[in-house]
Amino acid sequence: MKRIGVISDTHLKDHYPKTFIQPVLTAFENVDLILHAGDVNAPWVIEELEKVAPVHVVLGNTDSLKVLLDTPISRRVKVENCVIGLTHGDTFREPKMKPILNAAGNMQTAANALSHFQFEEDVNCIVFGHSHFPLLLWHEFAGRKVLLLNPGSATQKRVAPNCGCALIEIDGNDLDAKLISW
């Protein structure tokens, strides 16, 4: 079994104290891998997360290409027998897609995230951010169920009820996730 920490929208600057991500570091104790769905902003965030576990990151709409050199806007991550699609979910670089109406707080963002992987039949889960609003939703798409997972923002809740992150557990073909908030 593998445990994966999921984080997005840290929006931290170089001069911010590292205590800003302490709740995340506590939640990610004993994870095997960390996924960051973009809007990192400060390279030290990735450096701190890498002290816990290997990190896969994608570019968010507020990230600088100078900071996250060679970072893709989406990527596939295979863990055991599952494939996770990782993207930010913004419309900055992509046209708007038809909203997913049952994805409260994430209707447009979830649709944009799904569009990156819509033709990849082996993707079991799509991790995204951008809206700062947490979502854990099994969504029926093209005759199969896909987990849409937005951990919310670890540092800026905006209109969401809390800040947060998420954990995914994968055991062979079985995938489960939970949201963590503070």
**To 5 degrees, how large is the angle CA 6–CA 80–CA 27?**
25
Residue whose token pair is 């905006």: 158
Run of H or E including 12? none
Select the more confidently predicted residue: 50 or 103: 50
Overall domain count for the chain = 1
DSSP E strands in the chain: the ranges are 2-7, 33-36, 55-57, 74-79, 82-87, 123-127, 135-141, 144-150, 164-171, 174-181
**What is the reported pTM?**
0.91
Residue whose token pair is 């995938």: 175
Please report the pLDDT score of residue 95 as a whole number.
54
Average pLDDT, the chain: 90
Q: What is the pLDDT of residues 54-113, one digit of tens each?
A: 999 999 999 977 667 789 999 999 999 999 999 999 875 555 666 676 666 667 888 888
* Furthest CA-CA distance within the chain: 47
Which residue range forms the structural domain that includes residue 144?
A: 2-181
Please report the pLDDT score of residue 75 as a whole number.
96
Q: What is the pLDDT of residues 18-44, one digit of tens each?
A: 788 899 999 999 999 999 999 999 889
Select the more confidently predicted residue: 133 or 98: 133
| CATH number (domain holding residue 93) | 3.60.21.10
